[in-house]
Structure 1
Amino acid sequence: MSIFGGTISDLERGLNFSALKQKTIAQNIANVDTPNYKAKSVNFADVFSDAKQSIISANRTNEKHFNFQMKVSTPGVYNYSNFRYNHNGNGVDMDKEQANLATNQIYYNALVDRVSGKLNTLQTVIRGGS
């Protein structure tokens, strides 16, 4: 049985998802004036289902070969390929991105508060309830 298993691991995955979503939103906002840039989004279910399938390992036929793994792509991130918002082919809706940014920040803060509460509970148990 792991002390940090279960809930804390799930919260960690949620924080990783939120960080990826934050990065994607920031890329969209940074490219709001880039011609033909297509907005990106992150799908929560795809992040967790593709996480194990996104790493490729090399087959070593000789012990002197380098052992490496390569990440194929960021799982769960996709483009809105057929969507044009601006006349220059750009697909970024600034109002939508700002709303997504605010929503993601609230989600992230809730997860951080929950992790903090879990760790405070563990600290109380370690101290013997005092």
Structure 2
Amino acid sequence: MFQSPAQDYVDKPLSLDDMCKLSRPYTYVLRSEISSWRAAIRKDALLILDCSATPYDGSIVMCHLGGQIAIKRLRLSPTPRLEDLDFPADFEQYDTSDESSRIVVKGVITHIINDARSGEFVDDCPVM
């Protein structure tokens, strides 16, 4: 009896737990309350937040800004700053001198899971 020639090409089953590292401590699944074209986040999308991941330039992070929880894009170059997801010109600089306005990054959004049944983004912008 001969073995199948395709036997070397058998993939292991896909697992969201493995792909999104959901079994790691400090990894959470959140539902988005915002919609962002540039970050490809729809309202009610599932966001995988890894609080143990190290953010790098361009990472989408969850942070505390003046007592509020916010999702922003982290820019490290040329100076560290946070940008709004849809308006990169509107940013806030890191300020460590004033404790009340200090920015605290809580975790990195590592994956975004959108419901494809809902169609396109509900926005007037014709280009993504």
Higher normalized strand content (fraction of residues): 2
- Scaled by the length of structure 2, the TM-score of the pair is 0.26
Higher normalized helix content (fraction of residues): 1
- Scaled by the length of structure 1, the TM-score of the pair is 0.26
